């Protein structure tokens, strides 16, 4: 029977921890308020505070053992938070690339631009579809674009053969109206009909030779870097050139991978898509650019988060054992004190809560320390992926957001709970006579 009871308690603890890890900060605030009310308004709560006050006041005398818990948990949070910040930064960079007032049209059943292909007639018909915004001359704001992969030497490569994948986007003059967030920060725009490149600011940081006036090799041809552009999104990881020149160089004919359009109305995507679907000559898929790039980020961001949680969990196990050993030693050193309290009428619950409060306080300190270090060292830190999905080598920054810090803090408190629970239960259930004989 005791085995089944133990298994049931472990199962309940696992469920409680799973719920806690998914809990938003508002829910945690409610729980904290309820717990504070219990401590202040009930007899057992006030007794728990009295016992906890004694234990917390002696933390300075146990500085070394207490530091084991704080440093161990800070290490867990310090590893987990940057990994989650990496996933957040990657996803945020792609989300910023899209909007609700622009749409991306691909060949039907294409998962990404690089796997799509639209012939010339389809491109023309897409551009003439109702719902697209028009410029002062009445021309539709539609940008047919060609996407190809190329290799360039890396800036941080140890040899000249160290190369990475970069995405080359062939565009026309329409792109500047469809993507107004793109601005030239160095040099000038490429000239139509010439093998000239505009390089994204992120790509310029990753690859060698991407400076205005410099010649580089793409494929079998020499190209001249005309300028550097910034956009604040995933486009900064790309190279841009004249679409017709890219098509000629890479033998793509008149086909294009996609058409990006600016909608006449931010709420006009549904009618625009309906008009495309009603055209029997078109076999396409369309989505807002916001939806498209958000979906592109899901897989990689999820993988990064899973890696962070797995690595953090492995480290958390070590931190839990450190907390267990430390708290068992602390409880053993106070065995007579706890036994005396129980002998004069203190129930087991206040003792358990008091020890948990002590451990959770140390865990909170470790979580805050680890989160603060992660924010100072990694927030805004530049990173990149290698050929991730449809965006090639994507440059982005780690975002240590409040949500990421909250995730790390929840893990810290969970470690503290487990690390203090078993020593607390032992202290509360040990026979008084046995405890009085210890030490």
- Distance between CA atoms of residues 261 and 101, nearest Å: 9
- Distance between CA atoms of residues 174 and 171, nearest Å: 8
Which pLDDT score is estimated for 195? 94
DSSP H or E stretch at residue 321 = helix 289-333
- Determine the number of helices (DSSP H) and then strands (DSSP E) in the chain: 14, 12
- Distance between CA atoms of residues 234 and 92, nearest Å: 9
Alpha helices in 379-401, H assignment, sequence order: none
Beta strands in 68-191 (DSSP E): 102-107, 142-153, 163-171, 183-187
> Nearest to residue 103, comparing CAs of 258, 260, 233?
260
Which pLDDT score is estimated for 5? 57
Tens of each residue's pLDDT in the chain, 439 residues? 456 656 776 777 778 777 887 888 888 899 889 989 988 899 888 888 887 887 777 777 777 778 888 888 888 898 889 888 888 888 888 888 888 899 999 998 888 888 899 999 999 999 999 999 998 888 999 999 999 988 888 887 655 567 788 899 999 999 999 999 999 999 999 999 999 999 999 889 888 889 999 999 887 789 999 999 998 888 898 999 999 999 999 888 889 999 999 999 888 899 999 999 999 889 999 999 988 888 877 777 788 888 888 887 787 777 777 777 777 776 666 666 666 666 666 677 887 888 888 888 888 999 999 999 999 999 988 777 754 444 456 778 888 999 999 999 998 888 888 887 777 777 777 766 655 565 4
> Nearest to residue 419, comparing CAs of 346, 290, 311, 330?
330
Which pLDDT score is estimated for 310? 83
30: number of Cβ within 10 Å: 12
- Distance between CA atoms of residues 86 and 79, nearest Å: 11
| Alpha carbon separation from 110 to 104, 105, 255 (Å, rounded) | 12, 10, 15
Which pLDDT score is estimated for 151? 86
Which pLDDT score is estimated for 345? 66
Which pLDDT score is estimated for 247? 92
Based on C-alpha coordinates, what's the Rg of the chain? Answer: 30
- Distance between CA atoms of residues 86 and 77, nearest Å: 14
| Alpha carbon separation from 435 to 62, 326, 333, 338, 429 (Å, rounded) | 21, 18, 10, 8, 10
């Amino acid at each position: 029977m005791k085995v089944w009871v133990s298994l049931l308690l472990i199962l309940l603890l696992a469920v409680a921890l799973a719920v806690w890890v998914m809990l938003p900060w508002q829910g945690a605030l409610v729980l904290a308020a309820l717990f504070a009310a219990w401590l202040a308004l009930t007899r057992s709560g006030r007794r728990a505070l009295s016992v906890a006050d004694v234990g917390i006041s002696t933390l300075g005398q146990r500085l070394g053992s207490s530091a084991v818990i704080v440093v161990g948990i800070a290490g867990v949070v310090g590893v987990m938070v940057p990994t989650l910040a990496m996933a957040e930064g990657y996803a945020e960079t792609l989300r910023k690339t899209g909007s609700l007032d622009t749409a991306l049209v691909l060949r039907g059943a294409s998962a990404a631009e690089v796997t799509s292909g639209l012939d010339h007639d389809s491109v023309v018909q897409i551009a003439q579809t109702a719902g697209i915004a028009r410029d002062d001359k009445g021309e539709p704001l539609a940008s047919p674009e060609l996407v190809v992969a190329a290799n360039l030497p890396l800036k941080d490569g140890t040899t000249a053969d160290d190369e990475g994948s970069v995405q080359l986007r062939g565009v026309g003059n329409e792109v500047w109206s469809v993507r107004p967030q793109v601005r030239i920060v160095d040099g000038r725009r490429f000239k139509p009909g010439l093998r000239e490149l505009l390089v994204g600011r992120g790509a310029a940081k990753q690859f060698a030779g991407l400076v205005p006036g410099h010649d580089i090799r793409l494929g079998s041809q020499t190209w001249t870097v005309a300028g550097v552009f910034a956009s604040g999104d995933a486009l900064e990881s790309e190279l841009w050139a004249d679409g017709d020149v890219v098509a000629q160089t890479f033998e793509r004919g008149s086909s294009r991978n996609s058409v990006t359009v600016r909608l006449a109305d931010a709420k006009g995507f549904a009618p625009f898509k309906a008009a495309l679907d009603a055209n029997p000559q078109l076999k396409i898929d369309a989505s807002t650019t916001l939806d498209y790039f958000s979906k592109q980020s899901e897989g990689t961001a999820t993988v990064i988060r899973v890696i962070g949680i797995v690595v953090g969990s492995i480290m958390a196990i070590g931190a839990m054992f450190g907390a267990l050993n430390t708290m068992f030693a602390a409880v053993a050193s106070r065995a007579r004190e706890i036994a005396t309290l129980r002998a004069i009428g203190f129930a087991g619950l206040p003792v358990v809560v008091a020890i948990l409060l002590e451990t959770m306080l140390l865990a909170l300190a470790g979580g805050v320390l680890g989160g603060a270090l992660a924010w100072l060292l990694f927030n805004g830190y530049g990173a990149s992926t290698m050929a991730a999905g449809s965006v090639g080598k994507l440059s982005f920054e780690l975002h240590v957001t409040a949500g990421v810090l909250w995730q790390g803090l929840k893990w810290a408190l969970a470690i503290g709970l487990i690390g203090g629970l078993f020593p607390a239960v032992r202290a509360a259930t040990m026979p008084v006579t046995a405890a009085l004989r210890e030490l």
